[in-house]
């Protein structure tokens, strides 16, 4: 098997489980790239499998495609990314995942108490946010959105 040969769209679909319509959508969003063969059919460089796999994982984790696009912008589009390219992108994604983890952990902790949304509908809110004092910190669930203090 030639590991440098591009993959047809059918092969990419078979390898990733992603339908053609989604691949076309990802192309329009600049997340993946294809070329054309001599018969004007779409072909994909093998390294696009990794991008597509990261999209699948990112979607499962609830990461917006725009965030993935920003990460992929750090990777070259015209050649296979090097190990260093992937490491650089990985460090950036690691930071984003840590922030997402912090938000989820805060949500888990605060879910049974006041999240600072200003509803004051729970008895706990009267204790944790009397007179809706948290409104001065801004809109939304301010306790959950707070940055951790060092």
HEC string for the chain: CCCCCCEEHHHHHHHHCCCHHHHHHHHHCCCCCCEECCCCCEEECCCHHHHHHHHHHHHHCCCCHHHHHHHHCCCCCCCCCCHHHHHHHHHHHHHHHHHHHHHHHHHHHHCCCCCCCCCCCCHHHHHHCHHHHHHHHCCCCHHHHCCCCC
pLDDT per residue of the chain (150 residues) written in tens, 0 to 9: 677 889 999 999 999 999 999 999 999 999 999 999 999 999 999 999 999 999 999 898 888 999 999 989 888 888 889 999 989 888 888 888 898 888 888 888 777 777 778 787 777 777 778 888 888 888 888 877 776 655
Q: What is the pTM (predicted TM-score) of this model?
A: 0.69
């Amino acid at each position: 098997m030639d590991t440098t040969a591009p993959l047809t769209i059918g092969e990419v679909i078979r390898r990733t489980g992603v339908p053609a319509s989604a691949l076309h959508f990802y192309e329009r969003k600049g997340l993946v790239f294809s070329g054309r063969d001599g018969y004007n059919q779409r072909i994909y460089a093998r390294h696009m499998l990794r991008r597509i796999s990261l999209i699948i994982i990112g979607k499962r984790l609830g990461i917006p495609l725009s965030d993935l696009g920003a990460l992929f912008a750090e990777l070259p589009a015209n050649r296979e990314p090097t190990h260093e390219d992937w490491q650089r992108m990985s460090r950036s994604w690691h930071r984003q995942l840590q922030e997402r983890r912090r938000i989820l952990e805060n949500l888990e902790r605060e879910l049974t108490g006041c999240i600072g949304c200003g509803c004051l509908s729970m008895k706990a809110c009267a204790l944790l946010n009397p007179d809706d004092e948290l409104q001065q910190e801004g809109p939304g669930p301010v306790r959950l959105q707070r940055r951790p203090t060092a």
